[in-house]
Amino acid sequence: MRKLKSILMLLLIMVTVGGCKQSSERFNVSITVDRETYMTIMSSVQGITLSPVISTSLAEKGIVYEWIASDGGFIKSMSNHIINDGDSVLWNPFNLDSTVAMGTTTITLNLRDKITNNLLAKKTLKIEFDNQIYRVVK
């Protein structure tokens, strides 16, 4: 009886560990920008457009793109958090309370499974404010 319990326990552990393989996969993801610098006095430009670039294996999965800005916000959502299906987002340094982002802003892109919400990939990008200019840090 003990041997049977041991065998069943071992099988259960193997199935559990084997079932986690997909969530540990790593995918290539990057963020491209339409401009390297931005100034709030640029009247015809609203901010910096950020676009996701992902590996083909990840593109075939059902994924959700979650964008988070530590400061400033995204124009379409009027907040510092937006979820979409892979569209580009437009970041600008203005917060909802009309203050302006100062220092370094971190943009985080989380790619999540549409069904399980598991994190598949993550990428960050920094935008630094210096002397009235916002610069994308490579």
Neighbours of 111 (CB within 10 A): 21
pLDDT bucket at 2, cuts 50 / 70 / 90: low
The order of strands in the sheet holding 89-92 is 29-33, 48-54, 89-92, 73-74
Q: Where does the pLDDT of residue 24 fall: very low under 50, low under 70, confident under 90, or very high at 90 and above?
A: very low
Name which CATH class applies to 27-137. mainly beta
Task: Compute the average pLDDT of residues 50-54.
Answer: 95
Of these ranges, 7-11, 55-59, 98-102, 131-135, the one predicted with the greatest mean pLDDT is 131-135
Q: What pTM does this model have?
A: 0.77
Residue 57 has pLDDT above 80, yes or no: no
Q: CA-based diameter of the chain, in Å?
A: 78
Burial of 70 (0-12, 13-18, 19+ CB in 10 A): middle
